[in-house]
Amino acid sequence: MVQDSYGTSDPGRVRREDQDAILRDDELGVYIVCDGGGSQRAGGAASDLACRTVHERLLAGTAVLKQYAAAPTAAGKRAVLGLIAQAAEAASRAVCEASRFDADKAGMTSTLVLAAMLGQCAVVAHAGNSRCYLLRGGGLHLLTEDHTMARDYVKMGLLSPQEEAVCFESGVLTRCLGAHEKVQTDMLHFELVAGDELLLCTDGLTAHMAREEMAALLTELTPQGAVEEMVRLANDRGGRDNISAIVVRTDPTSTANGAAVTRRLAALRRVPVFQHLNSAELLSVLDLAQVADYPGGAKVIAGGGAGQCLFVSVAGTARVVKGNRTLAVLPPGSLFGEMALLDQRPRSADVLADGPLQVLAIGREDLFAMMRRDRSLAVKVLWGFCQVLNERLRAAAGEGFDAERPAPAAPEQPDPAASLDMLARAARPYA
């Protein structure tokens, strides 16, 4: 599905040597950007070694990548994610060992951001503060979260997002290759839409450019033109660090099922439980979901059965029925079965397809596993869920349910302690 790609690495205006490393393998569909740390000699050696090691491991697993690209399956996805995690760990181990046995390279480390384009799907993996952005529908969405001390301070409420950008700790990594032999690599798997573009870059670029500027250049120029203009602007604005970027553009005329993916993502975005999630988090939830189609009259939820999933209707309407009585009619974009988040008590009513109905089914245990891995996402989901329950309490108290009423905004990076305080305040009227 890749139509075009381009990448370059520039030393910038201040550094004498380029400590970044990039790699493009259009045939394999793998793109890598690494930013080395340590002394000038050590940093360059670290990024080069990390980049080469990851690529070599993925080349050895070509069959796994190619098979999944041709025929994606759940087992194939697990194999791909495992292969990428193992490649990152092998690179971390290689950098760590090189640092240990060469005094000139002591303490060297490297960031990693990687994109694997696999047919109609992509996998993004990263450790450190090099980033990956997705250009889709004119908007530029950040798919990675910096592994830095400053980002942790923002999550704890000690810094604002504005302060984060100029804080010294924005360059202090909490996760990278080479600090330890083992490394935890964040990974995001998602379906591509025709015309998607990915930008992989180091902080030498993002320190000098706003997201809106990058989006405009990616929209207006070819991958080569966009990369070269970004590097030029970063250098004109000081070029304080090495500047590396790769742009990968997918074929805008591809027959990929982009409209269906966009509909599903839009349906998730409308659901109150998920309304506070950012683009990467929504893609993560969508990746958990199983798409199911029901003919008219089919039973989506059977009363009396255990609640294992929550559902989001994408197309068509559903009807909540108890006995011979219709309790509610659910339009597209509705959430139902969400009480499965709290317990697995028997369902209290049937949910039937009014006509042809497509839903996203999200398994309770899968969602819980994701929430355990990402506490920030967990707070956002639980805060949204509390807002749903709040609406139901208001309806039960006679105020009526207003689906159009805007819900209170949650912080972009909610602090768990602050969110619990908000929950306590919200609960006082019902105590």
The one-letter amino acid code at 316 reads G
Residue 250 near residue 313 (C-beta atoms within 8 A): no
Residue whose C-alpha is closest to residue 191's, from 264, 252, 132: 264
The answer, yes or no, to whether residue 330 has pLDDT greater than 50, is yes
From the number of C-beta atoms within 10 Å of its C-beta (0-12, 13-18, 19+), residue 258 rates as buried
- How far CA 356 is from CA of 194, 205, 262, 315, 362, in Å, comes to 26, 48, 19, 8, 20
Which H/E stretch holds residue 37? strand 30-37
Q: How far apart are CA 108 and CA 89, in angstroms?
A: 16
Q: Poorest-confidence range of 188-192, 243-247, 271-275, 405-409?
A: 405-409
The CATH homologous superfamily to which domain 259-430 belongs is: Jelly Rolls (2.60.120.10)
Compare 202 and 102 and report the one with higher pLDDT: 202
**Confidence band, pLDDT 50/70/90 cuts, at residue 40:** low
Residue 54 near residue 85 (C-beta atoms within 8 A): no
- CATH architecture, range 2-253: 4-Layer Sandwich (3.60)
Q: How far apart are CA 285 and CA 380, in angstroms?
A: 12
Tokens representing residue 173 in the block:
């990594």
The answer, yes or no, to whether residue 137 has pLDDT greater than 70, is yes
Kindly report, residue by residue over 283-326, the tens digit of the pLDDT.
Answer: 999 999 999 999 999 999 998 888 889 999 999 999 999 988 99
pLDDT at 91: 98
Q: What average pLDDT does this structure show over 14-19?
A: 92
Torsion 197-3-185-22 (CA) sign: negative
Kindly report, residue by residue over 369-395, the tens digit of the pLDDT.
Answer: 999 998 889 999 999 888 888 887 887
Maximum alpha-carbon separation in the chain: 79
Tokens representing residue 32 in the block:
């890598």
Quick one: angle between helices 40-60 and 74-101, nearest 10?
150
Domain boundaries, the chain: 2-253, 259-430
Kindly report, residue by residue over 278-289, the tens digit of the pLDDT.
Answer: 999 999 999 999
Q: Which residue is it, tokens 């989001």? A: 312
Residue 92 near residue 177 (C-beta atoms within 8 A): yes
Q: What average pLDDT does this structure show over 197-215?
A: 96
Q: Give every CB contact of residue 364 below 8 A, 6+ residues apart in sequence.
A: 307, 308, 309, 310, 340, 341, 344
pLDDT at 429: 36
pTM of the model: 0.89
What Rg, from alpha-carbon coordinates, does the chain have?
23
Rounded to the nearest 5°, which phi and psi values hold at 222? Answer: -70, 165
Q: Give every CB contact of residue 356 below 8 A, 6+ residues apart in sequence.
A: 293, 294, 295, 296, 315, 316
Q: How far apart are CA 56 and CA 41, in angstroms?
A: 23
DSSP string covering 204-240: HHHTT--HHHHHHHHHHS-HHHHHHHHHHHHHHTT--
Q: What average pLDDT does this structure show over 254-280?
A: 88
Q: Give every CB contact of residue 162 below 8 A, 6+ residues apart in sequence.
A: none
For the chain, give the mean pLDDT. 89
